[in-house]
């Protein structure tokens, strides 16, 4: 097991100073975010709690470079369940901003993710409309 | 007499405070807003961590309090306002109408049985039903009906049914004023109703709250103790508990920890497994298992090992229902982040404690401060005093807490109130004639030389007895019995009118033995004893026959059998009455001084409180200064500097003329007993070396005192791991705090601090939780961050146990940037010394990765450790027990947390168990209150019904001394027939009358008043040699010996629940199963009883601590003896029935009757039948 030695304890403060990241310090890592997360349900490795753990520990590089922070689709279920008012969905947005600012991911990538979210919504709506139409036939 | 104190709230807190005050001789007005006292505890099935039956241990306290001559209880009453200043308050009370005349109501229940309205029962949390006219629960005190005006249809059926004309619809609300010296607020709590919608409580019937589940588990609950899910009545195979529902949750009003839910969930899980051993999975979903109290960790361990309960560290996100099976799906993530949907038949939500809405209103009327949640504010150093002088607050109304802490706080509130009252003086009967009246004491007639003239009074109890058996026949039969001079019947023998009739008949016929055949002696014996006293008879000349709860109510279908049984019960009672003796309560002078061993915070607080009540106190402190561990503390959790308070404490004690401080001193020996101790105190040299050998006259002091408070404390253990003592970078939390307090530059140049929790607790050497370390570490972490927010603080923990309101500091620490990282029990952090710092590495369970932390300063939260050897010496001197861990062991962990079983000796502070400063101070005050109940009296009165030893028969074997749980018997050298001989000597004041010694005495030298050998044997003989008209054919006749506190109460409960069972059983009441001499059983069988049943409290529940244990051992041997004697041992049935197991009692009777019926008559031809198989 490789030992983690280099972390930046100031990272949590950095996140907290970003819009959306303000409440990051409230977290007591209960895991309700993960338990209720619809993405964790379909993507076994995706674990919001571990993202929080890495923020609090200060594993800055590992986190900002990981694909994890882009998987959230902003449904805010975690926000409605969270007993400590951490607002994980907003925290993730704060992480993305830092990652873009640091040019770890470029802006076009972020825009593409947003587009994917938008497309998914459009696609869903189209499908539901089609189902309704079929039903009324 | 002192001016009365008002206690608001009739739950366990109010009851404890009221009873303590009354026992200190201070009158009490007890206000309860519901129709009966008992509070939440009455609703509980069992209590942790002993699984004691809640009703069994609570009921004696409730009745003692309610019947105390100095306690006046007002139910359905609220405190409106308190005017003036202590001790000259005027309390304004609003009493709502009961619509039942309390004087007339006998609690028979005829009204409820005709009431056509059925509504949800509050007591059963809405699962069961009650009528519009009802008693809240079967054992409700006062035993009076109440009309729920909002549900009542005024059909007047109850008015017609009530024969004592107690129903009065036109009763009105009353408002009255009472002058009082102090007020104790104990108004209790509510359970949280803020349940997150995603947990499905309002959607799914099989998701219930923990208090609802408590009622489901209860033998007296809506399902009679059959665990079943509400939707379809099926027993659940898989059951889950979800913790922290409405607690530790920022989305609801309770972001604090409710302090009790972890343990009650463990309890409910264990009881579930006991009810349903075949259950496949009982799982508890939790975040941190907060087993921070005495023996709580052991309790959790046994839940895992013995009961197979699964503990799953996971917060459940949501529930769903599988429509096909009706089962509930829990969505949760495991430590590794994998999401599961686990299926359960039933889910219990461990809901938290919240302040009552009414409490907030009450406090605003009283101008008493509440905290931001609505809990009544009490100062950390001044608790249980509220913000208004003369008003105290205790129990869960001041913050979430369990029963023992509630009891402690209640006693402490009683001490503070007693202090306020001590400055007053009133003539109680002149100043409060409406509430307290002086009973004129009749001249007592000595009947010892009179021929026996028994009077029998048979009660109809409206139709409760008269409707199911022929009272007239019973009266006529009673007249035919030997020694009976008079027999008569009454509609309600307990009514005020009939009491006069009894007194008149006693005088008219010169009666000197009184038998009342009515309901149960457990509720009515004190009343009828009072009647005897008014008639000038010794109260112990009363014998009761229970022909209602144990006869008419349980044989409602068969009037002939019930009448026949009632006759036999009366006959047995007359047999017992014949040997009734006039018993007197021995009195003993009390020395009004107290000895407090230990001059730390607990001892000081105890001494100051005792002095404030007006008693002189000796503090014996082994070191050269007062203050103990508190000297090292810098601030409390809430940020109050400890130093100032402690300095005040020490100065007050030093300047107090009532307090003598013995520094550098130790206890050499203690002799005597409650009320009269003599102690030798030895002064040590300044270096702490005993000066033995030098002239003893100068350094030894003898003092006399009536009580002892053990406050010897404990200390922080020197860690033996994590480089402690080896590295300059490693320190303990307490030492660090002390340095911080002293302004030491211990943090200069420090960039990284790491704390390791449980560094010495919850391991092989010290298996217990030291309770204070999590909070102390959080406090120190916050202090470091406040000193310099750039210092990195990492806390490595196994479980954060920031119980109660401390949870908010856990959150504050996180917000300040303190890093909390968990480690698994078997993966302790590893430390290594580096150049100028220590490297700490630990495996993060969430990431499954090893993380290394740099520590310029490594702080170890070490254990609180008792001085095992020192404590042992004191324990031996006081004859009090210790725990395995070396702390002292109180009389009862739940309800007597500051008492020892040995009377006159009390316990507080760290000597009891680890606890924080506030808790130590409060417990010190509680010990003062308990000690005050003894030294406030001019003399101690022994119980009347106690053991007596016949010196001529005693051979000095010591068997009685061995089994006495109260150390009331000692073997002493006495002069017998001119020779010195060892004999057992009884201390009347210490004896509780359980009779375990008597049953254990080989030479029959010990007997017990009120339950003497001759009384019991005559009951047997009168029953079996009687000539009640022979019944057609043979029917088994079974004698049941039942202990007064559990099984007899259980039998009564079967009656209140109208649970029908065969009429073959004849109950003989004994104080304890330990009283039952095996000879009684043999005698019963030899006299022709076809079977004998023996039942006591469940193991561990004994009212007399250990009596049932000795009983159990004795009967194991007896079974073998019976075989040898040629009696089938199957004729004798041993069992345990608790006070809440009415249903179980009925089942056991059925089972035994069936079994004995199959065995046949015990001596068909005057011969004992041989065991089955040999015939």
pLDDT tens track for B989-1032: 889 999 999 999 999 999 999 999 999 999 999 999 876 555 56
- CA-nearest residue to B809 within chain A is A26
Check A81 against B820: CB less than 8 A apart. no
What is the biggest distance separating any 2 CA atoms in chain A, rounded to whole angstroms?
64
Which residue in the set A12, A53, A83 is minimally distant from B250, CB to CB? A83
The HSE-up count of residue B1048 (CA atoms within 13 Å, CB side) is 22
Q: What is the pLDDT of residues A5-64, one digit of tens each?
A: 778 889 999 999 999 999 999 999 999 999 999 999 999 899 999 999 999 999 999 999
Cβ-defined contact of A28 to B814 (cutoff 8 Å): yes
CB contact, 8 Å: A79 with chain B? no
Instruction: Return the residue of A nearest to B752 by Cα.
Output: A9
| Candidates B315, B843, B844; nearest CB to A35 | B315
Instruction: Find the closest chain B residue to A4 by CA distance.
Output: B851
Which pLDDT score, from 0 to 100, does residue B387 have?
97
Q: Say if the Cβ atoms of A36 and B331 lie within 8 Å.
A: yes
Max CA pair span of chain B: 100
Whether B138 and B1053 have beta carbons less than 8 Å apart is answered as yes
- Nearest Cα residue in chain B from A33: B317
Chain B positions touching A8 (Cβ under 8 A) are none
Q: Which residues of B touch A32 (CB under 8 A)?
A: 315-317, 333
**DSSP3 helix / strand / coil % (chain B, rounded to 5):** 30, 25, 45
Cα end-to-end distance, chain A, whole Å? 61
From A41, which residue of chain B is nearest by alpha-carbon distance? B339
CB contact under 8 A, A30 and B316: no
Chain A CB contacts of B800 below 8 Å: 28
Substitution target from B349, B811, B814, B818 for chain A, most A beta carbons within 10 A? B814
Residue among B766, B799, B732 at smallest CA distance from B887: B766
Token pair in block for residue B748: 């200069």
Residue B440 gets which letter from DSSP? Answer: P
The alpha carbon of B639 is separated from its chain's Cα centroid by a whole number of angstroms, namely 34
**Partner-chain residue, chosen from B249, B339, B846, that has the shortest CB–CB distance to A50:** B846
- Give B294 to chain A, closest Cα distance, Å: 26
Task: Look at the block and give the residue holding tokens 């009003």.
Answer: B253
Which of A31, A53, A77, A81 to mutate to test binding with chain B, by most B CBs within 10 Å of its CB? A31
Contact B100, B148 (CB under 8 A): no
**Closest residue in chain A to residue B335, using alpha carbons only:** A31
Residues of chain A contacting B847 with CB distance shorter than 8 Å = 50, 53-54
A23/B contact by beta carbon, under 8 A: no
Give the integer Cα–Cα distance in Å for B367 and B354: 20
Could you count the other beta carbons within 10 Å of the beta carbon of residue A71? 19
Place of tokens 């000879």: B1079
What's the gap in Å between the CA of A93 and the closest CA on chain B? 20
* Nearest C-alpha in B relative to A80: B251
Q: Do B331 and A44 touch (CB under 8 A)?
A: no
In B882-896, which positions are buried (b, 16+ CB within 10 angstroms) versus exposed (e)? bbebbbbbbbbbbbb
Cβ pair A3:B814 closer than 8 A: no
- Residue A29 sits at the chain B interface (C-beta within 8 Å): yes
Q: How far is CA A105 from its chain centroid? A: 15
Measured from the Cβ of residue B116, the count of other Cβ atoms closer than 10 Å reads: 10
Residues of B in contact with A40 (CB under 8 A): 333, 337, 339
Burial (CB count <10 Å: 0-12, 13-18, 19+), residue B631: middle
Helix (H) or strand (E) holding B53: strand B52-53
Running DSSP on this structure, what letter comes out for residue B548?
I
Contact present, B1089 and B1020 (Cβ < 8 Å)? yes
Pairs across A and B, CB distance < 8 A: 110
Distance CA B143, CA B154 (A): 22
Rounded-to-5 percentages of helix, strand, coil across chain A = 60, 0, 35
Count H helices and E strands in chain A, helices first: 8, 0
Q: What residues form DSSP beta bridges with B285?
A: B242, B312
Q: Is A76 on the interface with B (CB under 8 A)?
A: no
**Cα B1067 to Cα B1076: distance, rounded to the nearest angstrom:** 13
- pLDDT of res. B393: 98
Contact flag A26-B338 (C-beta cutoff 8 Å): no
Averaged over successive runs of 10 residues, the pLDDT of chain B (1175 residues) comes to 97 98 97 97 93 84 92 98 97 97 91 96 94 92 95 95 93 97 98 95 97 93 91 95 97 95 97 93 97 95 95 97 95 95 97 96 97 96 96 98 98 97 94 89 90 96 90 96 96 87 96 96 89 94 96 94 96 96 92 97 98 97 96 90 94 96 95 94 66 56 97 96 96 95 88 97 93 97 95 97 97 97 96 96 95 96 96 92 93 93 94 97 98 95 92 94 93 87 92 95 94 96 77 83 93 90 96 95 92 91 89 90 87 91 93 93 55 41
Chain A nearest CA to B198, separation (Å)? 8
Q: How far is B915 from chain A (nearest CA, A)?
A: 25
Q: Where are the alpha helices (DSSP H) in B422-520?
A: 428-431, 471-479, 496-509
A36 interaction partners in chain B (CB closer than 8 Å): 198, 317-318, 331
Chain B neighbors of A87, CB-CB under 8 A: none
The number of beta carbons lying within 10 Å of the beta carbon of residue B769 is 29
DSSP codes, B374-424: SPBP--TTTTTB-SSTTEEE-GGGGS---HHHHHHHHHHHHHHHHHHHTT-
Mean predicted confidence (pLDDT) in A58-71: 95
Q: How far is B252 from chain A (nearest CA, A)?
A: 8
Mutation for testing the A interface, residue in B194, B333, B830 having most A CBs under 10 Å:
B333
CB contact (8 A) between residue A4 and residue B849? yes
Question: Is B934 in contact with B940 (CB distance < 8 Å)?
Answer: yes
Residues of chain A contacting B821 with CB distance shorter than 8 Å = 57
Q: Which residues of B touch A (CB under 8 A)?
A: 196, 198, 244, 248-251, 287, 314-318, 331-333, 335, 337-339, 792, 800, 810-811, 814-817, 819-822, 841, 843-844, 846-852
Closest-CA distance of chain B to residue A108, Å: 31
Report the chain B residue with the minimal C-alpha distance to residue A22.
Answer: B815
Contact between B852 and A35 using a beta-carbon 8 Å cutoff: no
Burial class (CB in 10 A: 0-12, 13-18, 19+), B72: buried
Nearest by Cα to B311 from B320, B323, B299, B295: B299
């Amino acid at each position: 097991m490789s030992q983690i030695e280099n972390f930046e304890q100031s990272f949590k403060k950095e996140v907290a100073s970003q819009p959306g990241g303000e409440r990051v310090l409230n977290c007591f890592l209960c895991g309700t975010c993960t338990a209720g997360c619809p993405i964790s349900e379909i993507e076994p490795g995706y674990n919001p709690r571990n993202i929080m753990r890495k923020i609090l520990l200060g594993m800055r590089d590992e986190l900002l470079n990981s694909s994890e922070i882009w998987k959230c689709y902003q449904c805010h279920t975690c926000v409605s369940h969270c007993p400590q008012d951490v607002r994980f969905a907003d925290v993730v947005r704060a992480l993305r901003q830092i990652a873009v600012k640091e040019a770890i991911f470029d802006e076009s990538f972020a825009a593409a993710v947003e587009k994917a979210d938008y497309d998914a919504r459009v696609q869903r709506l189209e499908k539901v409309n089609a189902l309704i139409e079929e039903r009324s036939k | 007499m002192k001016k009365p104190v008002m206690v608001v709230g009739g739950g366990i807190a109010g009851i404890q405070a009221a009873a303590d005050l009354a026992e200190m001789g201070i009158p009490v007005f007890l206000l309860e807003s519901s129709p009966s006292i008992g509070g939440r505890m009455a609703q509980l099935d069992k209590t942790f961590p002993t699984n004691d039956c809640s009703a069994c241990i609570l009921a004696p306290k409730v009745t003692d309090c309610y019947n105390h001559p100095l306690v006046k209880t007002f139910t359905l009453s609220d405190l409106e306002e308190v005017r003036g200043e202590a001790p000259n308050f005027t309390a304004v009370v609003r009493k709502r109408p009961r619509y039942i005349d309390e004087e007339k109501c006998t609690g028979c229940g005829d009204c409820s049985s005709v009431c056509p309205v059925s509504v949800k029962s509050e007591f059963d949390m809405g699962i069961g039903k009650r009528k519009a006219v009802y008693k809240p629960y079967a054992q409700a005190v006062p035993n009076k009906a109440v009309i729920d005006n909002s549900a009542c249809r005024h059909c007047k059926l109850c008015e017609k049914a009530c024969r004592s004309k107690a129903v009065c619809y036109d009763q009105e609300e009353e408002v009255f004023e009472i002058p009082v010296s102090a007020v104790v607020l104990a108004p209790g709590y509510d359970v949280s109703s803020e349940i997150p919608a995603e947990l499905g409580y309002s959607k799914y019937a099989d998701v219930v709250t923990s208090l609802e589940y408590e009622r489901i588990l209860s033998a007296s609950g809506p399902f009679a103790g059959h665990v079943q899910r509400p939707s379809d009545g099926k027993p659940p195979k898989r059951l889950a508990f979800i913790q922290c529902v409405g607690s530790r949750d920022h989305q609801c009003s309770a972001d604090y920890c409710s302090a009790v839910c972890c343990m009650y969930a463990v309890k409910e899980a264990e009881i579930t497994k006991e009810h349903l051993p075949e259950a496949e999975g009982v799982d508890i979903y939790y975040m941190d298992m907060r087993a921070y109290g005495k023996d709580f960790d052991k309790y959790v361990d046994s839940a895992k090992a013995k009961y197979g309960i699964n503990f799953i560290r996971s917060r459940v996100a949501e529930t769903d229902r599988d429509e096909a099976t009706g089962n509930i799906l829990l969505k949760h993530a495991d430590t590794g982040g994998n999401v599961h949907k686990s299926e359960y038949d039933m889910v219990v939500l461990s809901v938290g404690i919240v302040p009552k809405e009414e409490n907030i209103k009450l406090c605003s009327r009283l101008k008493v401060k509440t905290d931001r949640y609505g809990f009544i504010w009490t100062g950390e150093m001044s608790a249980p005093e509220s913000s208004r002088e003369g008003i105290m607050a205790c129990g869960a109304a001041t913050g979430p807490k369990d029963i023992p802490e509630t009891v402690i706080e209640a006693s402490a509130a009683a001490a503070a109130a007693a202090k306020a009252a001590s400055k007053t003086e009133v003539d109680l009967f002149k100043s409060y004639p409406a509430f307290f009246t002086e009973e004129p004491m009749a001249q007592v007639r000595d009947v010892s030389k009179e021929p026996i003239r028994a009077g029998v009074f048979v009660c109809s109890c409206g139709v409760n007895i008269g409707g199911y058996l022929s009272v007239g026949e019973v009266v006529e039969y009673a007249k035919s019995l030997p020694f009976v001079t008079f027999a008569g019947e009454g509609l309600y023998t307990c009514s005020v009118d009939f009491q006069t009739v009894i007194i008149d008949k006693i005088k008219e016929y010169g009666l000197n033995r009184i038998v009342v055949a009515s309901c149960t002696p457990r509720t009515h014996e004190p009343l009828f004893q009072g009647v005897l006293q008014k008639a000038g008879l010794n109260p112990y000349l009363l014998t009761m026959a229970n022909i209602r709860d144990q006869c008419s109510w349980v044989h409602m279908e068969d009037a002939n059998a019930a009448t026949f049984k009632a006759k036999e019960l009366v006959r047995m009672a007359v047999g017992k009455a014949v040997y009734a003796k006039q018993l007197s309560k021995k009195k003993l002078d009390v020395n009004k001084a107290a000895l407090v061993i230990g001059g730390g915070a607990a001892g000081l607080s105890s001494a100051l409180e005792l002095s404030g009540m007006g008693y002189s106190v000796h503090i014996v402190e082994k070191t050269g200064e007062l203050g103990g561990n508190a000297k090292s503390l810098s601030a409390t959790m809430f940020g109050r500097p400890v130093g100032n308070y402690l300095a005040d404490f020490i100065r007050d004690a030093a300047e107090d003329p009532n307090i003598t401080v013995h520094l550098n001193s130790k206890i050499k020996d203690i002799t005597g007993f409650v009320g009269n101790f003599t102690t030798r105190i030895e002064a040590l040299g300044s270096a702490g070396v005993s000066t033995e050998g030098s002239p003893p006259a100068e350094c030894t002091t003898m003092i006399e005192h009536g009580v002892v408070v053990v406050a010897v404390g404990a200390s922080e253990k020197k860690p033996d791991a994590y480089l402690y003592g080896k590295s300059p970078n490693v320190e303990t939390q307490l030492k660090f705090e002390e340095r911080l307090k002293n302004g030491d530059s211990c943090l200069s140049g420090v960039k990284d601090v790491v704390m390791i929790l449980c560094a010495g607790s919850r391991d092989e050497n010290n298996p217990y939780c030291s309770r204070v370390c999590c909070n102390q570490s959080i406090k120190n972490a916050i202090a470091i961050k406040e000193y310099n927010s750039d210092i990195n603080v990492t806390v490595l923990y196994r479980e954060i146990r920031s119980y109660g309101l401390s949870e908010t500091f856990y959150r504050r620490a996180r917000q300040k940037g303190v890093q909390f990282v968990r480690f698994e029990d078997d993966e302790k952090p590893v430390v290594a010394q580096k150049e100028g710092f220590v490297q700490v590495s630990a495996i993060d369970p969430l990431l499954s990765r090893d993380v290394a932390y740099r520590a310029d300063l490594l702080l170890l939260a070490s254990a609180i450790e008792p001085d095992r050897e020192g404590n042992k010496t004191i324990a031996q001197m006081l004859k009090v027990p210790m725990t395995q861990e070396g702390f002292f062991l109180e009389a009862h962990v739940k309800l007597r947390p500051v008492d020892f079983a040995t009377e006159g000796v009390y316990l507080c502070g760290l000597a009891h168990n680890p606890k924080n400063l506030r808790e130590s101070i409060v417990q010190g005050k509680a010990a003062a209150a308990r000690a005050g109940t003894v030294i406030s009296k001019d003399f101690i009165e022994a119980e009347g019904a106690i053991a007596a030893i016949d010196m001529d028969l005693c051979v000095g074997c010591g068997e009685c001394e061995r089994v006495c749980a109260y150390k009331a018997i000692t073997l002493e050298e006495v002069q017998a027939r001119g020779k010195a001989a060892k004999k057992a000597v009884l201390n009347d004041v210490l004896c509780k009358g359980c009779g375990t010694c008597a049953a254990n005495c080989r030479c029959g030298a010990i007997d017990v008043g009120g339950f003497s050998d001759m009384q019991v044997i005559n009951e047997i003989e009168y029953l079996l040699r009687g000539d009640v008209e022979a019944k057609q054919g043979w029917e088994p006749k079974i004698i049941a010996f039942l202990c007064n506190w559990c099984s007899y109460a259980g039998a009564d409960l079967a009656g209140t629940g109208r649970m029908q069972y065969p009429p073959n059983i004849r109950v003989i009441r004994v104080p304890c199963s330990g009283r039952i001499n095996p000879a009684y059983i043999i005698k019963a069988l030899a006299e022709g009883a076809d079977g004998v049943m023996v039942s006591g409290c469940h193991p561990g529940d004994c009212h007399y601590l250990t009596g049932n244990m000795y009983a159990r051992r004795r009967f194991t041997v007896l079974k073998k003896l019976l075989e040898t004697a040629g009696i089938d041992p199957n004729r004798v049935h041993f069992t345990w029935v608790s006070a809440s197991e009415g249903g179980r009692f009925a089942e056991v009777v059925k089972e035994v009757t069936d079994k004995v019926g199959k065995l046949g008559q015990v001596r068909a031809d005057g011969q004992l039948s041989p065991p089955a198989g040999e015939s």
